[in-house]
Amino acid sequence: MEIVKGINEMRKVRQGFPLEVGCVLTMGAIHTGHMSLIERSVTENPRTVCSIFVNPLQFPDGTDLRSYPSSIEADLTLMERAGVDAVFMPSQNEMYGTGLLTKITFSELSNVYEGIDRPGHFEGVGIVVSKLLNIITPQKAYFGQKDYQQTRIINALVNDMNMGTEVIICDTVREPNGLAVSSRNTLLTKESRERAGCLYRALEHAAVLRASGESLRIIEEQMSLVLNADPDVDRVHYFDFVDRENLRHLHSNKKPCVLIAAITVQGIRLIDNLSID
């Protein structure tokens, strides 16, 4: 497995690979969710390239950036064992130099839900994903369903910019209690991590209520109240049924949708979603 730190070097390595290359973009702190993406890429493509880059543009206030977990040596070991062919690990200076003049915005996709509490976050995602896909030029890129709003934004980016990369969205990997696997989970205590499974249980219960014909507005209100009443939940940021494509809030329960939610537990923001037919 080659470890590459320069953009030009990465392009040279890429030229030596067959046409079919899959990639998984990460910020490190590799967990079972990342590994499911990597293993699928290795299975489906002759070559797989991964990236490890903690993107500062995704953390406008800097708070999350300072606390983001890191385990580079363990990450590289896991990737090599899985059969990854190259890992691109650029520095901030390599990626951004003295700064950027270009900005990427996503209109209504980025100014709702995660975009409200984390202004500028998705603009940072758009920049880094654009750069990494242009540098690696993969035929397929694998992303997790857990970050649903992000998957819609990346799909829009790739389609609008005619990047030629197929975006493949993979199922969310969960811990035994239903909690969606995330690098942020490591920041929780063992007890809080176990109790944080309340979020997925609320999503499942809401789906059952929807199937019974209950009003979406009433379900959202009930589940928000239930979560807010949980002593382990610091805050419920949102708990909404939305359109699968444009993320607009739904009022009718007669069409397929996605139930998205975000809460804070022990000071850590957790997000999740459930697709509903």
Query: How far apart, in whole angstroms, are the C-alpha atoms of residue 143 and residue 167?
Result: 7
Amino acid identity of 132? L
β-sheet bridge partners, residue 261:
239, 272
Catalytic residue among 34, 121, 237, 249: 34
Structure tokens that stand for 219 in this block: 């379900």
Tell me if residue 31 is catalytic: no
β-sheet bridge partners, residue 276:
257
Q: CB–CB of 276/253 below 8 Å?
A: no
Read out DSSP for 115-166?
Answer: HHHSTTHHHHHHHHHHHHHHHH--SEEEEETTSHHHHHHHHHHHHHTT---E
Please give the positions annotated as active site: 34
